[in-house]
Amino acid sequence: MKEKREKKINFAPIIIIVLIIFIFVFGEYSRNKYENKIKTYTGSTIGIANSFKHYAKTKDLNYYFYINGQRIISKTSGRELYNKDLKKFYQIKYDISNPENNHIVLSHHLQPDSLTLVKTGFKRVKYYEHDIATNTYKERYKWR
């Protein structure tokens, strides 16, 4: 008598491949959804990158900008953020009805003149820095 041998199908590789495809498709969908949301933002202003907060694999870049004299503080996350991005001005795109929904354009930094900065809400603040060599205080300015 011939015995029938049943072939066992191993579903593990199939499940792993399906999960990888699902993760890739979901990631692309989320990225496209966010990019389409940014395209709906009609407001534009200037903001300054302020500080970092480091995590295990990512960083948060904190930045702020002004809308109608009100300071809006926000942050963005990513792996591709560097210390050279700090204390520079960037374009901010925001939703006019809700400025809390905003996006900082980090592809290139801006070099605005002082009149543009004052119009967008920034103020020039005087502060004093101690010079150890001469034991005097030197007058300095920064945008806030």
What is the mean pLDDT, run by run of 10 residues, along the chain of 144 residues?
68 86 82 83 92 83 92 85 84 93 90 92 92 92 86
Q: What is the pLDDT of residue 1?
A: 55
Catalogue all structural domains in the chain, each as residue range(s) with its CATH number.
37-113 (2.40.50)
Q: What is the pLDDT of residue 106?
A: 87
Q: What is the pLDDT of residue 63?
A: 94
Q: Are 110 and 46 in contact (CB under 8 A)?
A: yes
Closest CA to 112 of 53, 47, 16, 68: 47
Q: What is the pLDDT of residue 5?
A: 67
From residue 10, how far is each of 13, 15, 21, 22, 23 by CA, in Å?
7, 10, 19, 20, 22
Q: What is the pLDDT of residues 70-109, one digit of tens each?
A: 999 999 887 677 778 788 999 999 999 999 999 999 888 8
Q: Are 11 and 67 in contact (CB under 8 A)?
A: no
Q: What is the pLDDT of residue 34?
A: 77
Q: Are 94 and 41 in contact (CB under 8 A)?
A: yes
Q: What is the pLDDT of residue 27?
A: 77
> What residues form DSSP beta bridges with 59?
54, 78
Backbone angles phi, psi at 19, to 5 degrees: -65, -40
Locate tokens 């942050």: which residue?
Answer: 75
Cα–Cα distance for residue pair 16/128, rounded to 1 Å: 61
Cα–Cα distance for residue pair 23/29, rounded to 1 Å: 10
